[in-house]
Amino acid sequence: MKKLLSFLFITVFVLVLTACGGGGGGGGGVSSSPSSGSPAGSTVSYAPAYTYNVPADKTSSTAYLIRSNSSYMRSLSAPGATSFSSIAINETDFVTEGSFAPKRFAQNTEEWPVPGLISVSKNSPLYSIQPKSYNIDDTEKFWVITNFTTSADEEKTFALKKIGTHCRVWYDVTNPNGLIDSQLETIKDKLDAMFEVETTLCGSMVPTKNYSDVITITDTTKLEIVVYQMESGLCGYFSPKDFTPAAAHSNKAPIIYITSADTSPNMYSTVSHEFDHLLNFVNKTLNHGLVQETWYTELLSNTIEEVLENFNQVTGSVSVRSRLPYFLQYYNYGLYWNQDGPSYANVYAFGAWLLRNYGTTLSNGQYSGAMLFREIATNAYVNEESIVRAVNALNGTNETFASLRQKFMESLIYTEAGCGKANFNKAVYDTGFFDGVTIVMPSINLNSIVVIPGSNVSADIASKLINCTAGSDYCGPCILKPTAHYANILPYGFEIQKLGNNLTQIEIPSGLYGDFTVDFK
């Protein structure tokens, strides 16, 4: 798998989301929410028994039962059931297929003040380093994080190694290990080349509002890329406090930070990802005073990697698609944020699915998922509302977040290309969004992805998954047998059981809580 890369994004967010109600039926499915209300506490684990009578014309079809958690406010458990689990997640570095895959995007707890509570008056102060005229190998001091657990930082001396049209690249002179000069040159060239494309997708780096206590950014401002040796397993971060001169240890400049340890082409995706965080902060938080939840901003920053993947020439084991095995195994995570592989995989998967199915057709006749990305990234909304409004604006539909999530869940059942369902098995080839840029998002056959290597498929796992043999690779979504359950279904997460065919009734036992959908295939 690719980088579970752990970049720091000091977010501005509160974990308050509205529940989206029960999932609607789709694809011949029949929805039912057999219980209403829930016991007190953050974990809901009870529901009365429920019997669903299968329509006569569906008895010969294969029935699947989807149990979902339509709320962001609670976790669902299955008491008394044999919990489904597979390979453990290594919270530190891990190696998959010989590729170094560090943990990605570690999150600090520090919050940036919400605009709107900040006075808006005269021009804000220029930040300290930008007005200066620098030459190659001139030095400057920057505060950088040295301990991502405690957020401890240190002021280090950096040398200016590259000056581009839109960026400057600084390198740690106290510990110049890892990247060589040609790689720093490539970072500069990649950022300069992608700058116009990414700002077209994500919005301008120049805020539309003028704050008295926020740095001034103009059309001539350069992005500062600060490169240094981060602790093991971390690849970069973006810190909004650099926009606030009064903040302790603010560098008073638009900056993204990249590790010198990652010498793979992944570093170019890292630049795209972190630059997206910066642009997202400007366009949602500064321009509109909105509070973003982590899953939402990470969805954008993970998905931008795939949108620009062909442009950045990032392929193979460092592709963002290499996160999909985590999603297919841990889709019970939903949009819950837990700083690990499944969290990043789930938000990426949702974004990738949205872009393959809810973009729009350009004047040249090509389908463009990038148009949906731009609509989400630049509209005046965040979180669920931003996604729903973007989808409906481009497609003239009346989707809700619940209806989108329902179709997304069903995409793990209806995986075939051309099946008439919104799924991953659709390719995007777009030359019309931006002149001279080809956006390629290949079709994804979920059933061809090795999710659990055979060496990790135990007899216990094989007893809980359909079409699973101990010792053999397990491919495709982890579809459960009728008696197996995930131990917990986290906010917006779900589980899928294959019940079989020739059924006249489906019994949902007591002790399970959630929104239930029966799909027939």
Per residue in 49-104, pLDDT tens? Answer: 788 899 999 999 999 999 999 876 577 776 544 444 333 222 222 222 222 222 32
Position 210 scores a pLDDT of: 83
Per residue in 440-495, pLDDT tens? Answer: 999 999 999 999 999 999 999 999 999 999 999 999 999 999 989 998 899 999 99
Q: What is the mean pLDDT of residues 145-169?
A: 94
Q: What is the DSSP letter of 9?
A: E
Gap between the Cα atoms of 245 and 32, Å rounded: 53
- Does residue 65 sit in helix, strand or coil? strand
* Spans of all domains in the chain: 115-290
Q: What percent of the chain has pLDDT over 70?
A: 80
Per residue in 4-56, pLDDT tens? Answer: 332 222 222 111 111 222 233 333 333 333 333 333 233 444 566 788 899 99
Position 47 scores a pLDDT of: 65
Residues 63 and 54: beta-carbon distance below 8 Å: yes
Q: What is the mean pLDDT of residues 291-306?
A: 94
Check: CATH 1.10.10.10 for 115-290? no
- Does residue 340 sit in helix, strand or coil? coil
- Residue 311's pLDDT band, with cuts at 50, 70 and 90, is confident
312 vs 304, more confident? 304
Per residue in 114-151, pLDDT tens? Answer: 333 232 222 333 344 555 788 999 999 999 999 888 88
Gap between the Cα atoms of 311 and 304, Å rounded: 11
Per-position DSSP letters for 125-159, written without gaps between them: PPPSSTTS---TT-EEEEEEEEETTTTEEEEEEEE
Position 73 scores a pLDDT of: 58
* Beta-bridge mates of residue 462: none
Q: What percent of the chain has pLDDT over 90?
A: 61
Q: What is the DSSP letter of 351?
A: H
Q: What is the mean pLDDT of residues 304-314?
A: 91
- The pTM (predicted TM-score) of the whole model is 0.84
515's tokens: 């929104």
Position 315 scores a pLDDT of: 78
Position 32 scores a pLDDT of: 33
Position 291 scores a pLDDT of: 87
Position 19 scores a pLDDT of: 20
